[in-house]
Each structure stands twice: as C-alpha cells, then as structure tokens.
Amino acid sequence: MSRIYSIPGQGNGPLIEKKSVSDFFDRRAEKIKTLGPVKAVIYQDKQSGLAEARNAAEKFKLLPLLRLDGAQRVLDVGCGTGRWVSDLLPISSFYHGIDACEGLVAYAREQFFLVPNCCFTVASADNFSLQSIGEKLTFDRILCAGVLIYLNDEEVLRALRCMANALSPSGLILLREPMGVDQRLTISEHYSDDMEQIYSAIYRTRGELEALIAKVMPAGSFRLAGCGDVYDEPTLNNRNDTKQQWLLLERI
Ligand SMILES: C[S@@+](CC[C@H](N)C(=O)[O-])C[C@H]1O[C@@H](n2cnc3c(N)ncnc32)[C@H](O)[C@@H]1O
C-alpha cells in the first residue's frame, strides 16, 4: 500500500500489477448498478456532482479537438462504459470501443445494442491490431482517455504502437490523462477511502509521456498538434499533485 513519488535521476519507481488493475475494473463494472456509468469510470464516488461536472467539462474541451464532421471512423481505446459513444456517434461514421474489462464491455454492449455503426470488443490496449479487433479499415481518430495510467512504461510503448498501426494517414490520436504535476507519482495497491477499493496507477509527468510518445511516433511521422489542461474551472481539480491534461498527436 503506497504512494511513491519518483526522484529525478533515480529510476521510475515501482511497476503496477496487471492483476490489481483488472480486479479494480472488474469491481467498478459490478458497481455500475449503484454508481451509474459516469462515476464508474470517472470516480469521485462520495462527491456529489463532481464526476458529472468533470464529464461535461471534459467533453466540452475535448470534442472540438477531434475535428469530426460525420465522415470519420473513431476508435475508443479503453472505452469503459461507453461514456463517449453518444457524443461521438452523431458526428462520426463509425465507432468501435475496445476495453480489457469484460464487465465494462458487456455493459457498453447492452446500452448500445442495435445502435448502428457502433461496436465493442474486449481487447488489451497494448496488444491489439486491426485484424484482432475484426477491422479491415484504419481509423481516422483514436481517443484514449484515462487509460495509460494503468499501464507500465513498456506497455504504454506497446499501446502507442498499436494505436499508430491502427491510424489512417493524417489521422489524429487524442490522449487524455491525469498527469503528475512536478513528479511522477506511482500509486501501488493503495486503499482509496473514496472508492472503497484498492487502487494502482502511474501518474507520469507530461515530459515523461512525451518522451515515450517520441520513441514510437518520431518527429518525421507524427507531430504534437496541441496539448493543455482539461479543466478550466479550478474546483474540478481536487488534487495538487496530479492534473488532467490532453495531448493531440497528428500523423504527418
Ligand atoms: C478511467 S477508465 C476510462 C474509461 C473511458 N476511456 C472513459 O473515458 O470513460 C479506464 C479504462 O481503461 C481500461 N483499461 C485499463 N487497462 C487497460 C488495458 N490494458 N487495455 C484496455 N483497457 C484497459 C479500464 O478497463 C477502464 O475501462
């Protein structure tokens, strides 16, 4: 049970356990009945209205960044409960959500059963290909919101490679992540009073994430088309050491 800040120059701190992450999300899927589909993936279980306010502010900020005009195929990596489907589908031609958690995918499938141009697949963010998720065509847009914090660095590199391989020419990848403000913070098997669950995650600094991105998406093939804070309203950020940020990557 620990919260560990990495000391610059002394390595990147402990790894997080895949099993701890998958147990956490299996339990979140079970809790959808009581929490609803937004809190299940945004958390803040005991804070009335905060998850919903964050959901609205995030979509207000991020949706325009995707530059969707109805013609694009969208891949949502780590789609969770399908929180983005109703916002993305009306302005895209096809939506495919993938997630490692069977319970969350089952919920999303049930919610969007028979909705045209929409499907979900159980798949790991760091081990998928177009073929493995049953697709023939690449995606014009890839959204990956709040997922990379549950992956160790090697897995993040693999996930970024999988996304790059699934992306169309001139396509965009939008990453939304809670990031360490000054330092990387690793939370390993930490009991959260708010969620009443054991939690593990890695809050990388933006510099660390950009360094990983540069290894997979070099300057000649991708450019950083933008980055910034997700919330303009200070009360939506209730932590000092981490902050929700976004990065937009464009294939060139
Ligand atoms: C904080 S939730 C965000 C869900 C969704 N992106 C959203 O914004 O509502 C994180 C999601 O990442 C998924 N996830 C965690 N590790 C994953 C992995 N290795 N591969 C695929 N999905 C993963 C979880 O199952 C969960 O649905």
Q: Is the CB of 208 under 6 A from ligand 1?
A: no
- Do the domain assignments include residue 9? no
State which residues of the chain have pLDDT below 50: none
Q: Please give the Cα distance from 125 to 78 (Å, whole number).
A: 7
Note whether 41 and 146 are within 8 A (CB).
Answer: yes
Q: Is the CB of 45 under 6 A from ligand 1?
A: no
Residue nearest to atom 14 of ligand 1 (CA): 78
* Å from CA of 156 to ligand 1 middle: 13
* Å from CA of 203 to ligand 1 middle: 15
Provide the CA 90 distance to its chain's centre, in angstroms. 21
Unique residue bearing structure tokens 């790894």: 15
* Tens-digit pLDDT profile for residues 51-99: 999 999 999 999 999 999 999 999 999 999 999 999 999 999 999 999 9
- Do the domain assignments include residue 12? no
pLDDT at 3: 78
- Do the domain assignments include residue 37? yes
Residue nearest to atom 4 of ligand 1 (CA): 80
- Do the domain assignments include residue 10? no
The total domain count for the chain is: 1
Note whether 117 and 93 are within 8 A (CB).
Answer: yes
- Do the domain assignments include residue 8? no
- Do the domain assignments include residue 200? no
pLDDT at 34: 96
pLDDT at 12: 76
* Tens-digit pLDDT profile for residues 7-17: 655 667 789 99
Q: Please give the Cα distance from 114 to 107 (Å, whole number).
A: 14
- Do the domain assignments include residue 216? yes
What CATH code is carried by the domain that includes residue 45? 3.40.50.150
Q: Please give the Cα distance from 142 to 249 (Å, whole number).
A: 10
pLDDT at 176: 98
Q: Is the CB of 126 under 6 A from ligand 1?
A: yes
- Do the domain assignments include residue 224? yes
Unique residue bearing structure tokens 């790991």: 124
Q: Give ∠ CA 75-132-94 in degrees, rounded to 5.
A: 30
Domain extent, residue 116, equals 17-65+79-179+206-251
